[in-house]
Structure 1
């Protein structure tokens, strides 16, 4: 089977792989993520900041960058345990917040919360069909799951473009979209220990492969303008360090909940993340997008670059 046919119709991470990672134990995740079960990088300030305050700041940043207002309809792609959904309905008074996820545990958890004006679906974004376009779309660390290891760079970009095409259709012309995602950096040191840690990470995060920022820019070309872009890898390093510290402090309880081997694998994986984001072989990007009024084909770079060069040097 050719690569083209093998990747045709690819929808990102399978539901089985997503559930293998996320449907472990709510109580285990609560040990290190805190009571809000916020499984993403926070946004820190200097000084004695707390994890809970930094997570609330991150969520507020993403929601406000998406220009959410009272009465808005908002889609959360990869909603997890619903921290953003709760914030949207409780603090921003949206008319409707829709969350989609591949985690049964997340859906069950949110259904028990019975949040007003909130709908949660066990669904892939590719299959989502809104009743009417959304005013805003938010996606927090879901894009890492849109391409599996082993895909070529071209296939990865094709997968990300599917995401941007779907979001362009689901978003109002004056809407906004914010995306927070882990990305590969450009300081990747190859040694046995790092490769071993990355191999372990593939068992904790099956079918997961972060994008390069350049792949995202290529994939959204002709569909969205990038209004703002932040590289906050130091924020992820600090978040992961907090997670590691909490796991170590309650190591025995974690082992009781999911088994010692798996608990230690999570702890080692989080420790590797601290090093990865500190040294820059992983980064964290926060994007703010605005849809283009008309969908365009990606720019023909070869044509543009060479046409501009044909005239030679202008005479003064």
Structure 2
């Protein structure tokens, strides 16, 4: 059997439509030199990575190590190259088993190797289970949240900006600044919850405290909880600088362990991705029990487009970004919310807004690239550029969405309507807030 070069292997999976040029360390080349995108396969390790994991994990490993590269690609924002690569989708070919066997045989004829994963890669699902970190147990959640969020606070600030808000912003126009859009998101949440000074808010998965600052400046008494120690430190220092200690507090605590109850409102912004689908009923029940009758919930989370796809993330996201993360469709979430006993007042899809948010984060990362590499090393800086640009594209393609659900815990005793007939948070609404 004649040995295959890298270009031969690529031709098994891809038609030569002139959209891409791939050159390899073995001297082979696929596609025309004047193609709009050029990819270099710089060493054999990239090939071994792809044979071991012929999916997004194999590609990510090779890219993060510098084993594949592109002159058109900006490490802090590879979005444009990703978009051009998506144009290759019609040119993909389905390889037959014989061709796949030829590729594996050709690669392993040079020796059977399984190169080590990049040092920044997290453990596999199997290894986490072997270590006793059961998915969405308290110990498991603490470990996975710490893995993602207990990085350098300065690194996060490089791309998040001064608001330190790591969730979807809300734009009136694509020209809005990120800071304006993040303030608008925080205000939208608080306006939907319709809280007055002195009311009590619980913020589940509070991040670095931007909601606590915004709410406290309205006179709202707010408690934020997160499992990430670095976030707690940043948030409480921020609260102290603002002189808001009498109104705002952030604790390192699982939301299930919060001893207080009878909150006027609860918000959960970008935290549900960590809960796990089978735990949704207990999650919403916990929130229901912590609210006063007529109390409100604002639940904000990334969602699947439909309920026919699996809930778990792919290997790349699981090992590098959100271990054990799961997404569900809006319909599935609504069903659990209703079955818990809540009344859903409003549901809003902010998909387009998240794409704009991610583009701004990528721009910030590019602007602070040298410092990001200094703080985290180039592989991890590349990782965040890769992750955010890929997410932006997937939101734009409507492969994923993000929804806000505004809910009320009904008062079964009084049976009294407690909110206006029309949306009270809309700027041009003539309806006044019920608690004003």
Please indicate, yes or no, whether the TM-score normalized by the shorter chain is above 0.5: yes
Deviation at 1:119, TM superposition (A): 2.0
How do 1:100-179 residues align onto structure 2 when only pairs under 5 Å count?
Answer: 100-113=225-238, 114=240, 115-116=244-245, 117-130=247-260, 132-147=261-276, 156=277, 158-179=278-299
Q: Which residue of 1 aligns with 2:168?
A: 41
Unaligned runs of 5+ in 1: 1-5, 148-155, 190-194, 296-316
User: In structure 2, do the counterparts of structure 1 residues 9 and 265 end up closer, same or farther at CA, with 3 Å as the change threshold?
Assistant: closer
| Residues 186, 280 of structure 1: 8 Å contact kept | no
How do 1:92-107 residues align onto structure 2 when only pairs under 5 Å count?
Answer: 92-94=218-220, 96-107=221-232
Deviations 1:242-272 (A, max 9, x none): 1112212222211111111011011100011
User: In structure 2, do the counterparts of structure 1 residues 259 and 7 end up closer, same or farther at CA, with 3 Å as the change threshold?
Assistant: closer
Q: TM-score, normalised by structure 1?
A: 0.81
Structure with max Cα Rg: 2
Deviation at 1:219, TM superposition (A): 1.3
2:366 is the alignment partner of 1:248: yes
Distance 1:240 1:9 in 2: 27
Between 7-16 and 261-270, the greater mean CA deviation after superposition: 7-16
Deviation at 1:67, TM superposition (A): 1.4
Distance 1:63 1:239 in 2: 20
| Residues 107, 120 of structure 1: 8 Å contact kept | yes
Deviation at 1:198, TM superposition (A): 4.3
| Residues 169, 178 of structure 2: 8 Å contact kept | yes
| Residues 216, 222 of structure 2: 8 Å contact kept | yes
How many residues were matched structurally? 273
Deviation at 1:169, TM superposition (A): 0.8
Q: TM-score, normalised by structure 2?
A: 0.59
Deviations 1:129-163 (A, max 9, x none): 20x4000111110001101xxxxxxxx2x411111
Within the candidate set 195, 200, 208, 2:316 is matched to 200
Q: Which runs of 4+ in 1 moved over 3 A?
A: 6-13, 186-189
Between 109-118 and 62-71, the greater mean CA deviation after superposition: 109-118
Please state which structure has a larger fraction of its residues in helix.
Answer: 1
Deviation at 1:101, TM superposition (A): 0.4
Q: Could you say which structure has the greater relative contact order, defined with CA pairs below 8 angstroms and 6 or more residues apart?
A: 1
Distance 1:141 1:57 in 2: 16
Distance 2:139 2:267 in 1: 18
